[in-house]
Structure 1
Amino acid sequence: MTEIHSGQRVAVLADAQNLYHTAQSLHTRNIDYSALLEKAVQDRQLTRAIAYVIRAESPEEESFFDALVDIGFETKIKDIKTFSDGTKKADWDVGMSLDAVTLANHVDTIVLCTGDGDFSRLCSHLRHEGVRVEVMAFESSTAEELIDEADTFLDLNDRPDTFLL
């Protein structure tokens, strides 16, 4: 496992949908993405920060997307899909995974900001490729297999006044 050092190149991939729903259900608050990014980078060299967001035609979402950019995130936006039976679906699992695999040759560490267990296999792959994997999420809603596969896990619930607005 690569240890943390000041010259370390870091990519931060934030699953905004996962973080939003968890923060709302646990605390009825929003994520402080500025604090999240600052902690994820920890005085290392930020190579890329990407926030994966869903456009759901909500009135305040464009200002949220703009705020993410102002903080230092690149936003990748996907429109929510509504099916004929009325169900809705939108996730970035494949996109985040492809970006992580692509970035693996250019960074020393990838910080995944999500609790989604679908990323546990990605963690295993990245670690096999020599990339340090850190996960930041709310432990109470994070898949155990994701925590187990990461090099480190930071529970956002331990410092709600830092990571929540």
Structure 2
Amino acid sequence: MENVHPGQRVAVLADAQNLYHSARSLYTRNIDYASLLDAAVADRQLTRAVAYVIRADSPEEESFFEALVDIGFETRIKDIKTFGDGSKKADWDVGMSLDAVTLANHVDTVVLATGDGDFSRLCSHLRHEGVRTEVVAFQESTAEELVAAADDFTDMSEDVERFLL
């Protein structure tokens, strides 16, 4: 990675739903969030690490949320919404984007851990504001426009033993 130096202040924003579904569908495994955070920070100064999670009332999720906090993530938790037709929806796109824009004045780099192409516009905005943008995700499930919009892309599929439990 070029333009990376130890004094850089880094914020890591992890889209837990996106990462979970990618890891499960590609490898039927779970994300190693400690390794993810370590790779994202890459010997720089961590300013904030936020994991955006959805509460779906599954028995193991509270221990997962606690584990994220132990690793060093703040958790933002949103309850899943069930609509009249039975469909369910929950995503953190707007919340993550607002946090990234808010943090932009306080960091040099924003690392987005997601493959969601909806964040490509956010990368362009942050770069325009002078903030380096990096994406950490699985190549196979990452939108091409997101990779193109970021300053750097780390493909978690290139080192699954590091990034997966």
For the aligned pair, the TM-score class normalised by the smaller chain equals: over 0.9
Task: Tell me the residue number matched to 1:114.
Answer: 114
Task: Tell me the residue number matched to 2:84.
Answer: 84
- Give, in whole Å, the separation in 2 of the partners of 1:40 and 1:129: 20
Task: Tell me the residue number matched to 1:25.
Answer: 25
* Aligned-partner residue type, residue 57 of structure 1: D
SS at match of 2:120: helix
Deviation at 1:147, TM superposition (A): 0.3
**Residues 44-123 of structure 1 aligned to structure 2 (within 5 Å):** 44-123=44-123
- Give, in whole Å, the separation in 2 of the partners of 1:43 and 1:22: 26
Task: Tell me the residue number matched to 2:16.
Answer: 16
* Aligned-partner residue type, residue 80 of structure 1: I
* Aligned-partner residue type, residue 109 of structure 2: T
Q: TM-score, normalised by structure 2?
A: 0.99
Tell me how many residue pairs correspond in the alignment.
164
- Give, in whole Å, the separation in 2 of the partners of 1:76 and 1:131: 23
* Aligned-partner residue type, residue 29 of structure 1: R
Q: CA RMSD in A?
A: 0.7
- Give, in whole Å, the separation in 1 of the partners of 2:141 and 2:130: 27
SS at match of 1:62: helix
Deviation at 1:24, TM superposition (A): 0.1
Task: Tell me the residue number matched to 1:158.
Answer: 158
Task: Tell me the residue number matched to 2:124.
Answer: 124
SS at match of 1:159: helix
| Identical-residue share of aligned pairs (%) | 78
* Aligned-partner residue type, residue 68 of structure 1: L
Deviation string 1:111-148 (CA, Å, 9 cap, x unpaired) is 00000000000000000000000000001110000000
Deviation at 1:32, TM superposition (A): 0.1
- Give, in whole Å, the separation in 2 of the partners of 1:54 and 1:71: 18
Deviation at 1:3, TM superposition (A): 1.0
SS at match of 1:58: coil
Q: Where in structure 1 are there 5+ consecutive unaligned residues? A: none
Task: Tell me the residue number matched to 2:137.
Answer: 137
Q: Where in structure 2 are there 5+ consecutive unaligned residues? A: none
SS at match of 1:148: helix
* Aligned-partner residue type, residue 103 of structure 1: L
Segments ≥4 residues shifted beyond 3 Å: none
- Give, in whole Å, the separation in 2 of the partners of 1:20 and 1:141: 11
* Aligned-partner residue type, residue 46 of structure 2: L
- Give, in whole Å, the separation in 2 of the partners of 1:51 and 1:58: 18
